[in-house]
Amino acid sequence: MLSSPRLPKAARLRCSPGCFTNLNSTVWGKETRVLATLSVPLSPGGKQCESLRHWRLAALCELAVLCIAAPLAQADTIRTRVGIGYTGQVVGIDAQGLLINHAGAVRTIPRDDIVRVEVDQYPDVAKAETLFDRGVSGAAEAERFYAGVLAADLPSWLRAFIEWRLFRLRLAVSRYPEALDAYLLLMQENPQFAAGVTWSPVSENDPDRQRAMLAKIDEALRKGPPDPIAGQLTKLRNVLTPAPGTPPVPAAPSSPKPHIPAPPSDAAEKAKIAFASLFGDRLAKIQATADPQDDVDLAADLLQAAKIAGSQPEFLALVCEKAWELGNKDPAGYATAAEAMKILAEKIPQMAEACRQRMFVTMQRQYEHASGPARAEAGKSLVEALLRMADQQERLGNPDQALVYLRQAQDVAMSVGSSRKSEIQASLERLAHRQQTLARIAERIRQSQVAPQDQKVREDIFFLYAVELDNPAEAVKYADALGDEGMKRCAQQAASPAEKLSEAACLELGDWYRFLADKAGPAAKPNMLARARGYYKVYLERHTADDLPRAKALVAFRQVESALEKARRSGPEAGVPGFFGLPLGGAGKIVFIVDRSGSMTDSIDFVKYELKRCIAVLSQEQQFYVIFYSSGPPVELPSRTLVHATVHNRQLAFEFIDGVIAQGETDPSKALERAFALGPDAICLLTDGEFDRAIIDLVRRLNVSATVRVHTLGFLYKTGESVLRQIAQENNGVYKFVSEADLADLAKPSRR
């Protein structure tokens, strides 16, 4: 940076080699802001070209005259992930990010592209942003600076932005109650910006904090927040709410909690001394040799020490980090390095994210150095890790980084012949479509600001939000451009939770989304059809009278289901069969009910394998749940609710499925009751036994609205075929008999 002592502070010149100067001024009201960039090309030797020295002086003088001629407005600077900086005046904030007047044009900078914000009037913002960028290590100091800035009288956009930063910061360091406070404050003060904030629900183990968080969420939900915010709060509430049948959260003790002294301030120094006394001599010796085997051997000894060292954070971090560092020096130590990070993440959860990043580095090296079958195995593990990281980044609201990980996963999957190729391609197309749509919206918004009388531009924005992004809350802001009160009304209703709508509104929205599906592109069409199906389903559940409106809605519901199934069959997963061949592409919410009675002992591994394969190819938009039944209580997914088919949720489901054993008699009644209570679109019911005919009556009662498809599978034995077939026929499902020949193509997994 170059600066002149004769120029005001705000007129500093930012320079970067290789470009020429750009001097301009933009008039905002009565004040003139001088935007100056002075970039001097360098000679090969690195010095400024002699011929440009006088030119630079002339430019400085010209700039000084401009600065004296008019007062300077305060400037805001936004720096983005790709290294582009925008200097100007932030003029607003919306669900997507910050709006800045840059060089005479208003641009929208997406929230998740923003790396750093600087505001001349509030220099502590820049300090806080620098600390925020350091992650966990700078969290405490960043929060102190942010809090200090919030004490001032701030523009609304800056207050909302800082509240969002505090929310992200507290979430990153696992301070979930305080993260919730920041989110609720953001929701209260700037609901438009909060509506675009997404975060993965987290559990809270402390009973007192759990109760406090639930109370705050319930209070916020009673105020009727808009749909995206209500959905986030409901997800979090479901995670925090104890599962049915578990003991209630104990009441807080009446006596004060004992004071736990803080660790000594020199704990880190003491840990270093202890580490040096145990391993210092060996470290010095291996540093004097070129043989990597010495490093690998010490890494293995450090790993053993980590296993028995307890959970002293400073000492354990030193041991595990050094084991990781030494293990990574040779392929023989990669397994040790990865295990060291796994132990550190388990014992010190605050470091889990950093440990996952390091494990990822090790897995990349394993893949690069392996060959033959070992390379294929390392590649498959790396693909899983990349997909988990992509999923995490998407949940954190970082789609650009998610795309990077997905593309890496695709390259590795292609190289090793992974079965996840089609799934990765589908995720890439979905994310790319979202990013392209956001770019189109940003361009349309810019056009509307230049030509506010152009109704066609605002109409385009409406349909991009409503259809391509499935975001009616944003779409309704541009509904006036349509000149259609019906469209505006539907957009307003769609932004509210379905349970708050009347029967007539649900029916109208079913028809509306069916209409929008015809306008949608291939990527958005399934979402519009799923929305239509959802509203028709709510209407049919409420409107039980056997009349013409119900008959019409039921036919429309079936037509939408068929269209949705066809739309999903034409997507990237078109060639993938469903559960033992049952078509499930059209179902957005699926519950699998699987027999685990004693008669399944010799065959349950086949069912587990196919169940995991089926879940693995569900799209992330689809939700699923798994229930195993016998004569005792059902054995269910730990989530206790439907979950989206993300990489993380699939992995949790696979671990749960692997742990189920076969025992007991055959009674699906409690499992069916649980399944219908979850509100699915489809149920897959599998058994190798014979049901009592009372199960037919039970399903009739549970599916009185006839909106849930119930598919049935007879597994290896036809003894219960008549009941299973009738259940499927009465509930718009499909019956399938799975024979031994059908299992011939399945590779039976090894038992654990």
Checking if the pLDDT of 582 tops 50, the result is yes
DSSP H/E element including 412: helix 399-416
Q: Which of 242, 255, 260, 251 is nearest to 205 (CA)?
A: 242
Q: What pLDDT sits at residue 456?
A: 86
DSSP secondary structure of 503-554: HHHHHHHHHHHHHHHHH--TTTHHHHHHHHHHHHHHHHHH--S-SHHHHHHH
The predicted-structure confidence for 295-308, as pLDDT tens digits, reads as follows 999 999 999 998 88
Checking if the pLDDT of 56 tops 70, the result is no
Q: What pLDDT sits at residue 585?
A: 60
Q: Across the strands, what pairs with 685?
A: 593, 712
Q: What pLDDT sits at residue 74?
A: 55
Decide: pTM greater than 0.75.
no
Across the range 262-277, mean pLDDT stands at: 74
Identify the weakest region by mean pLDDT among 101-110, 252-261, 570-579: 252-261
Identify the weakest region by mean pLDDT among 37-46, 67-76, 389-398: 37-46
Q: What pLDDT sits at residue 206?
A: 61
Confidence of residue 434 (pLDDT cuts 50, 70, 90): confident
Checking if the pLDDT of 660 tops 80, the result is yes
Across the range 678-688, mean pLDDT stands at: 93
Rank 144-153, 383-392, 545-554 by mean pLDDT and report only the highest: 545-554
Burial of 198 (0-12, 13-18, 19+ CB in 10 A): middle
Q: What pLDDT sits at residue 684?
A: 96
Q: What pLDDT sits at residue 218?
A: 80
Identify the weakest region by mean pLDDT among 208-212, 261-265, 529-533, 627-631: 261-265
CA distance 555 to 539: 13
Indicate left, alpha or beta for 38 from its phi (over 0: left) and psi (-120 to 50: alpha). Answer: beta
Question: CATH number of the domain at 374-453, out of 1.20.58, 2.60.40, 1.20.1070, 1.10.3470?
Answer: 1.20.58
Rank 25-39, 296-310, 686-700 by mean pLDDT and report only the highest: 686-700
CATH topology of domain 589-743: Rossmann fold (3.40.50)
Checking if the pLDDT of 137 tops 90, the result is no
The domain limits of the chain are 9-69, 90-97+133-240, 268-369, 374-453, 496-575, 589-743
The 3-state DSSP class for residue 92 equals strand
Q: Do the beta carbons of residue 129 and residue 118 sit within 8 Å?
A: yes
Checking if the pLDDT of 178 tops 90, the result is no
Q: Do the beta carbons of residue 345 and residue 351 sit within 8 Å?
A: yes
Across the range 223-234, mean pLDDT stands at: 71
Across the range 251-263, mean pLDDT stands at: 39
Q: What pLDDT sits at residue 135?
A: 64
Checking if the pLDDT of 471 tops 50, the result is yes
The predicted-structure confidence for 142-164, as pLDDT tens digits, reads as follows 888 888 888 888 888 888 888 88
DSSP H/E element including 700: helix 694-702
Q: Provide the residue type at 312 as one letter.
A: Q
Percent above pLDDT 70 for the chain: 78
Task: Provide the mean pLDDT of the chain.
Answer: 78
Checking if the pLDDT of 243 tops 60, the result is no
Buried b (16+ CB within 10 A) or exposed e, 75-106: bbbbbbeeeeebbbbbeebbbbbbbbbbeeeb
CA distance 540 to 542: 5
Packed helices 669-677 and 694-702: angle between N→C axes, nearest 10 degrees? 10
Residue 210 vs residue 325, higher pLDDT: 325
Q: What pLDDT sits at residue 261?
A: 43
Checking if the pLDDT of 251 tops 60, the result is no
Domains 374-453 and 589-743 share a fold: no
